[in-house]
Amino acid sequence: MSLYTEENTAVLCVNCTPGSPSSLSAIFDALSKGNVEIDLVQQCFLTDDTLALSFCVAAEELQRALSILKTLKDVKANAEHGLTKFTLEGRSMLTHSNVTAKLFKALSSEQIKTYLFSASATKISFCIGKDDTTKAVKAITEAFKL
């Protein structure tokens, strides 16, 4: 298993009411045309027909992304900046069902808040406050014996 970090990350949380597949397309199209690179996309449609979307951008692209989103109808966006993105990955995660639980136990033991979390069969990525980066690296490397 390997651990990577990327500093100077921001998380955007976007709500669009009413939400629709065309709303999602409009958001991604506008960000793409504005040359905003996005990562760790999480999306859901809520029962009240609100589209909820969260994703990461590089800190230097945050103001541009917010400006673009402000031009879109029925879209509201909030951001958290000064974050570090972590990625824990490895094929061994395929055979260990407790990786997510172990990760959150390690982070919670240090009272580290996560702002965005995404997981697949071989990779977990998440964002935390940059001031917690050193504590998180220590807690994760100890928990997973990296």
Q: Give me the pLDDT at residue 49, please.
A: 84
String of b and e for 68-80 (b: at least 16 CB within 10 Å)?
A: bbeebeebebebb
Q: Give me the pLDDT at residue 140, please.
A: 96
Token match 């965005």: residue? 116
Q: Give me the pLDDT at residue 37, please.
A: 96
The tokens describing 1, both together, are: 């298993």
Run means of pLDDT, 10 residues per run, the chain, 146 residues: 95 90 92 96 86 95 97 95 95 81 95 94 94 97 93
The tokens describing 77, both together, are: 């966006």
Cα–Cα–Cα angle for 12, 28, 5, rounded to 5 degrees: 45
Q: Give me the pLDDT at residue 70, please.
A: 96
Cα–Cα–Cα angle for 87, 53, 97, rounded to 5 degrees: 40
DSSP 7-67: EEEEEEEEEESS--HHHHHHHHHHHHHTT---EEEEEEE-TTS-EEEEEEEEGGGHHHHHH
The tokens describing 57, both together, are: 């951008």
* Model pLDDT for residues 54-79, shown as the tens digit of each residue: 999 999 999 999 999 999 999 999 99
DSSP 84-142: EEEEEE-GGGGG-TTHHHHHHHHHHHTTPPEEEEEE-SSEEEEEEEGGGHHHHHHHHHH
pTM, whole model, 2 decimals? 0.89
Q: Give me the pLDDT at residue 63, please.
A: 97
CA 137/CA 131 separation, integer angstroms:
12
For 145, the enclosing helix (H) or strand (E) is none
Q: Give me the pLDDT at residue 20, please.
A: 82
